[in-house]
Amino acid sequence: MTGRLAGEVAVVTGAASGIGAAIARRFAAEGARVVALDLNAPAEGDLGLVCDLGRDEDVQHAQQAIAGAGLHPTIAVHAAAIGAGAPTLDTGSDFLARMMNVNVGGALRLAKAFAPAMQAARHGNFLFVSSINSTFATPGLAAYAASKAALDSLTRTLALELAPDNVRVNAIRPASIETPLLLGGFAARPDPAEARRLTTARHPLGRLGTPDDVAALALFLCSGEASWITGVDYLIDGGAAVTRC
């Protein structure tokens, strides 16, 4: 198999749909063997596993199944996330805890599961899917934004800790990406078409992002072409951040 990820083994979470599925497909097309993890059975990948990234036991069982299949991950992408929102004062502590547990704890569990072997081999990298909301305030998304800000912080600290062993850690911060989650949010509004129009208008390039847009950046960051990049969170936002400076 040839391609920019030939010889690599990539674990991709949230791989049943949206950004995770697009990354899994793109990585496979570029020669990687892909292990797809999700709460729902993934259709992508050489090996698909049902896994709750918020549970230690689930990640440990996935790690064992991956090893049992003779696969040794050199790339781990955390795209799984809880994305629901609520006004800050209506946010329950249990909801916040679950949000942090999956969005941030899931990344930590991946690192604990797969970083030691990458360190021993002096080869590997992690990529965490964060959000533009980690630094820009949006009403109703306090818990989500807090979890993504924590994920950005984890990215930087882990990058420093793993750099001596040549293991890289980066994050991607998308704006509005046309995923089932975003489309469902539009559908729940009184005027879905107007909700879509207003959201699109926040992006100077005049369109919503696509999962494939994010997958293209993920491919670069997880390939040898980015071998001197670590500890960075990359905006992919159609110019939205420029309007919010």
Please confirm, yes or no, whether 144 is among the known catalytic residues: yes
What is the rounded end-to-end Cα distance, in angstroms, of the chain? 44
How many angstroms separate the CA atoms of 73 and 123, rounded? 10
The answer for residues whose C-beta is within 8 angstroms of residue 167's C-beta and 6 or more apart is: 115, 118, 119, 122, 123, 124, 125, 126
> With left for phi above 0 and alpha for psi between -120 and 50, is residue 238 left, alpha or beta?
left
How many angstroms separate the CA atoms of 133 and 144, rounded? 8
**HSE, side-chain direction, 13 A CA sphere, residue 148:** 30
How many angstroms separate the CA atoms of 226 and 114, rounded? 20
**Considering 144, 146, 182, 238, which one is annotated as catalytic?**
144
Q: Nearest-CA neighbor of 79 among 120, 32, 38?
A: 38
Rg (C-alpha) for the chain, rounded Å, is: 17
Q: What are phi and psi of 39, to 5 degrees?
A: -65, -30
Q: Which active-site residues does the annotation give? A: 144
